[in-house]
Structure 1
């Protein structure tokens, strides 16, 4: 009798424990695994004083389906959803750093250098990847990825060195801003062309026209509407309404861009630019940043999870070569174009060193852009991930010691003249 009672009580509990989990339960399980592993890796990265992006990529590699003996996550597709949301929020907050007035005031010198640097690095990367035997679209997206400069890394390093007010710093930041706009626009064009699989002059012309029309339309029309709407919501002094409203702008423009076969990153970036024109910019940034941080982490984790580390021996050497190509191309194009603008040797050298590092969040966005439209091979994303890890690790040291070396040369030159 007693055993029957125990059986009646315990059976529902055991059935529930050993029952096949539902889809929602699997998502919660995957999310728990992702956040726990990411937290552990982030703590280790913090203790070792390394960039968090490396921690998230490695965490993704640990839990991903390509890491033996088995995947720690069940539903890999959910990572793609998290990654897409992460891209939108990441580019939205980056766009908020560059209101339209700031973009207008960057100056002709920064614009000229940015165009020369981006195009020069892109062409150098394309030439090298083609010589190495890569497929056409693989070369295009890899070249775009190495053309990126990590604005976040540059800002953090210069801030730590106390050089934010240096003459070269303003130029570096201005160039990085213009470069971000160029890279995002090129990504939109490449994705549009790759989606059709046709690289005819007509298709390229249509893609470029569509991107320009979207950007111009977003700026001209959006700048007259979005800031006023954001300020109107902000007057309610209700944080929840404000954050929901600006996220609606971000995802709304991202969706419009997607429907036009343009990268969602482009729509999100210019949504941030428009919101930055409102009086509520700082409050919005404070509210949006924690959400951005969480989903940006999920984006980098998803990139790591999608990397097949078994392919590492195949792409590590090309990755190192492309990092070197990027460094040489960026430094030489920035130095030459800065000198052509009649900037001093010291400023030109510092600017060249500051912008010579590749990688960062936009490089991964560019690489994943090729994956999203099915245009690139399976090794492109892990290769760019390896390049990002390498460049993220060495960039702070390159900038720090490069600028110190430049200042030492400047002092010796002054002492030589005095002598």
Structure 2
């Protein structure tokens, strides 16, 4: 653990001197000190960091929920659904088409639809924080799209599981999907009507007790969400959403900050541990083609969201580039595909694709103003009602 923290910190410090973002440097530290590269091996089994990496993801999404207030969710529900739906339609549809174009098989194409279609919530959150864009007007639709993606993700995983297992059990798939949707609905109702009660339960003047309380709530709900077939990240996000609207919200935001940064670094380091650079050359051309498709679809999705929210080219470019990264969900799909015995090229393809975008996305997001010069000016019109 000490070596992981120090290696990530050292590379990030060196990269900071030349203006590189921290995310790809944390990943690079994991690659260099993992079992797949020569030299020092801190961890021979990447699964040794699995729990701490999961905690990093939970804290990143919990922080995201704290920033995304319930009033924003209620005020922008229709716009959020339209922007998120447009993003999924473009990216998931392109991923499915790309999967069939590769000719690796139907199961593989269904997996690639999710790989190319769903953004990395962890990396998106880190990019927004690192670039100081949390307060920007376009950040609300970005976070809204992530929420829509997470809801889709729960239903997508429930539907994909029986297909990958080869089981002819439509009723089981419907039941799993219904269970996940019901749990999400319950969380939404608690967030809508139970915030005052939750606020009274968690409120305490003692910072130590407050940290233990909100950390326990976030991690516990993440575990319960996973048990119901919902991504653990969405459970942590919903807890953050609830607590951010309480009287303790501002204190929690301040107290969780160092925890988020520390364990977020371990999440990206653990991601690097799982990548074997030797597998990447065999899938280099499909990876580059997939990256090009994702870049194009994100630009179209950014323009669509900007039109819905009546934004100009600057915010449209920010939306397009911030949502570019793919990460933790793609790795989950790679694990599922390997367990299902799908094409052996799928795992190295996903690793290479995610690595390229994890490195590229923060760098591109920091230079989104260059893309804005090439985007059309939005026509001024009446805003779409929320």
Give the conservation status (yes or no) of the 8 Å contact 1:358–1:388: no
Counterpart contact for 1:99–1:273, Cα < 8 Å: yes
CA RMSD of aligned residues (A): 3.0
Q: Which residue of 2 aligns with 1:10?
A: none
Give the drift of 1:284.
Answer: 0.5
> Could you state the TM-score of these two structures normalised by the residue count of structure 2?
0.83
Once the two structures are superposed, residues 247-299 of structure 1 have per-residue CA deviations (whole angstroms, 9 ceiling, x without a partner) of 12111211211221222112111111111121111101111121111111111
- Match among 41, 65, 73 for residue 95 of structure 1: 65
Shift of 1:224: 4.1
**TM-fit CA distance, 1:107:** 5.1
**Residue 320 of structure 2: SS of its match in structure 1?**
coil
Per-residue Cα deviation, 1:110-144 (whole angstroms, up to 9, x for no partner): 43122112221110122113212342343133123
The equivalent residue for 1:179 is 145
1:365 to 325, 328, 339: 328
Q: Distance in 1 between matches of 2:323 and 2:304?
A: 22
Check if 1:259 corresponds to 2:227.
yes
Q: TM-score, normalised by structure 1?
A: 0.77
- Following superposition, the deviation at residue 392 of structure 1 comes to 2.3
Is residue 297 from structure 1 mapped to residue 265 from structure 2 by the alignment?
yes
Structure 1 regions of 5+ residues with no counterpart? 1-30, 411-419
2:221 match: secondary structure: helix
Residue 360 (structure 2) aligned to one of 380, 384, 390: 390
Q: Secondary structure at the match of 1:356?
A: helix
Kindly tell me the number of residue pairs found equivalent between the two proteins. Answer: 364
Mapping for residues 15-414 of structure 1, pairs under 5 Å: 31-69=1-39, 71-106=41-76, 108-134=78-104, 135-145=108-118, 150=124, 152-153=126-127, 157=131, 159=133, 170=137, 172-196=138-162, 197=165, 198=167, 202-225=171-194, 227-234=196-203, 236-336=204-304, 339=307, 341=308, 343=310, 347-357=311-321, 363-371=326-334, 373=336, 374=339, 377-379=346-348, 380-397=350-367, 399-404=368-373
2:383 corresponds to: none
Greater Cα shift, 370-379 or 240-249? 370-379
CA distance in 2, matches of 1:214, 1:222: 12
Contact 1:57-1:304 within 8 A present in 2 as well: yes
Task: Give a deviation string over 1:321-377, Cα, whole Å, max 9, x none.
Answer: 2222122122224435655x594xxx353443222226677x312113224544674
Distance 1:136 1:274 in 2: 37
Distance across 2 between alignment mates of 1:147 and 1:71: 27
Q: Which of the two has higher C-alpha Rg?
A: 1
Q: Distance in 2 between matches of 1:192 and 1:262?
A: 9
